[in-house]
Amino acid sequence: MDELVAWLLAAPPWVEYHTRLDLLDQPESDPRVQAARQAMLAHPLVQALLEELTEWPRPALKSHKAAGHPLHKLTFLADLGLRNSDPALQPVLRRVLAHRAAEGVFQILVNIAPRYGGRGEEQWAWMLCDAPLLVYAMAGFGLGHDERVRQAMRHLQSLLRENGWPCAATPELGGFRGPGRKADPCPYATLVMLKTIAQMPGWDGEEAARTGAEALLTLWQQRQERRPYLFAMGSGFAKLKAPLIWYDVLHVTDVLTRFPWLRQDERLREMVGIVAAAADESGRFTAGSVWRAWKGWSFGQKRTPSPWLTLLAQRVLKRYGAEM
């Protein structure tokens, strides 16, 4: 482990920063943590993301699986640890906060084809597969107590059903709904809602989180029979991938291990075991699948171990702790 930690500390500054915070439990005030954070902010790859986000909200979203869309880049910056006090981030935050639906939910610019229930033109809207990510990002940036963020969260959480969160969207999208049975939960919407509940400071969401977590764990149990909204949990699901954008084993375990009361659940144990089994003899992890939009990052290739992917996987294993 000492050799692995040394490798992570010598990696790009966002890896060093989170290794110190998440694996070594060093406080934010530690000078070494602060130095890593400042190096992260100055890094050309991070600066390039911030520059791209000055065009927010464009381009319009056409697919939630478009890994290079600004929505996912914004979420990734929240995962890295940027804050609303960082000057380069403030212009995009103002743009995000400026567009809210009547119910208080943050909107993005979308272009949904008519065959999927949209108009085939750009419009401001929200869906349960994007709106929670904006709340998650705002909370990650330090705006979790902002009443606009909490109002959006209240509405999104209110959409919970007894079997998880459904495929839901703003009324402006009319008949839009994903490819599945209306009564089924949407696995991805449920995942990102759980992720957002865990991110919100002081949020009373445990009951909702228990319902959502049970929905995902039940789908894991029934993965041979059920694929709601085409979200399967087979060989593709088991491949480790970063950033945490879509519905896969690393993303699901990263979210579920944030809830301590799940750590004895046998179903979660099985999924964490899949993550653990992907490590090499040194405890390093190599991507099993990649997003082409992120090919300039260490996790954007499948040839050599990725420090960031390793950090994410080791963090999951650390959270699961002795129960593994």
Report the pLDDT averaged over residues 13-18. 98
- Report the chain's terminal Cα–Cα distance, integer Å: 16
**For residue 134, which of 85, 172, 77, 80 has the smallest C-alpha distance?**
77
Region 96-111 average pLDDT: 96
**Residue 208 burial (C-beta neighbours within 10 Å; 0-12, 13-18, 19+):** buried
- Confidence (pLDDT) at 182: 87
Contact 82, 72 (CB under 8 A): no
d(CA 110, CA 112): 6
pLDDT for the residue 175: 67
Q: Are 101 and 107 in contact (CB under 8 A)?
A: yes
Distance separating alpha carbons of residues 138 and 152, to the nearest angstrom: 11
Q: How large is the average pLDDT for residues 220-248?
A: 95
Element (H or E) spanning 108, and its range?
A: strand 108-110
Q: Are 255 and 248 in contact (CB under 8 A)?
A: no
Mean pLDDT value across residues 286-292: 97
Tokens for 3, please give them: 């050799």
Indicate whether 141 pLDDT > 50.
yes
Q: Is the pLDDT of residue 224 over 80?
A: yes
pLDDT band at 248 (very low <50, low <70, confident <90, very high): very high
Q: Looking at residue 297, what is its pLDDT?
A: 97
> 271 falls in which pLDDT band (50, 70, 90)?
very high
Residue in 300, 258, 303, 253 with CA at minimum distance from that of residue 276: 253
Mean pLDDT within 305-312? 98
Whether residue 226 contacts residue 219, with contact meaning beta carbons closer than 8 Å, is answered with yes
- Mean pLDDT, residues 204-214: 97
Chain centroid, CA 127 distance in Å: 15
**HSE value, Cβ hemisphere, 13 Å, CA-based, for 222:** 12
Residue 165 has pLDDT above 90, yes or no: yes
Residue 98: is its pLDDT beyond 90? Answer: yes
Q: Does domain 55-212 have CATH number 1.50.10.20?
A: yes
| pLDDT for position 178 | 78
pLDDT at 114: 78
pLDDT reported for residue 322 = 44
- 0.85 cut: is pTM over it? yes
Inform me whether the pLDDT recorded for 323 exceeds 50: no
Residue 235: half-sphere exposure toward Cβ, Cα within 13 Å: 0
Predicted confidence at residue 177, as pLDDT, reads 73
Min mean pLDDT across 69-83, 115-129, 193-207, 291-305 is at 115-129
Label residue 66 exposed, middle or buried (CB < 10 Å: 0-12, 13-18, 19+).
middle
pLDDT of residue 119: 79
Per-residue pLDDT at 13 exceeds 60: yes
Segment 24-83, tens digit of pLDDT: 999 999 999 999 999 999 999 999 999 999 999 999 999 999 999 999 999 999 999 999
